[in-house]
Amino acid sequence: MSIYSACAPLHTLSLSSREIAALTGKRHDNIMRDIRVMLEQLPKFGLSRNSRH
């Protein structure tokens, strides 16, 4: 068992990209761009889009 699974919450909270844009006062297209960049960088950290940690 990894430290991640030992500390994983039972429930996951999430926000939509539109909610993030509204909360941060940023444009939705810029939020989407940033999400795409972060998703592309996941393999650098040994993670994938389906990782649960």
Q: Which helix (H) or strand (E) holds 28?
A: helix 28-41
Res 27: pLDDT:
98
* pLDDT tens by residue, 1-53: 455 555 656 677 899 999 999 999 999 999 999 999 999 998 888 888 776 55
**13 phi/psi in degrees, rounded to 5:** -90, 145
Q: What does the radius of gyration of the chain's CA atoms come to, in whole angstroms? A: 14
pTM of the entire structure? Answer: 0.66
Domain ranges for the chain:
3-45
Q: Is the dihedral of CA 18, 40, 42, 30 positive or negative?
A: negative
Q: Give the tokens for residue 33.
A: 């761009």
The angle subtended at Cα 34 by Cα 30 and Cα 41, nearest 5°, is 165
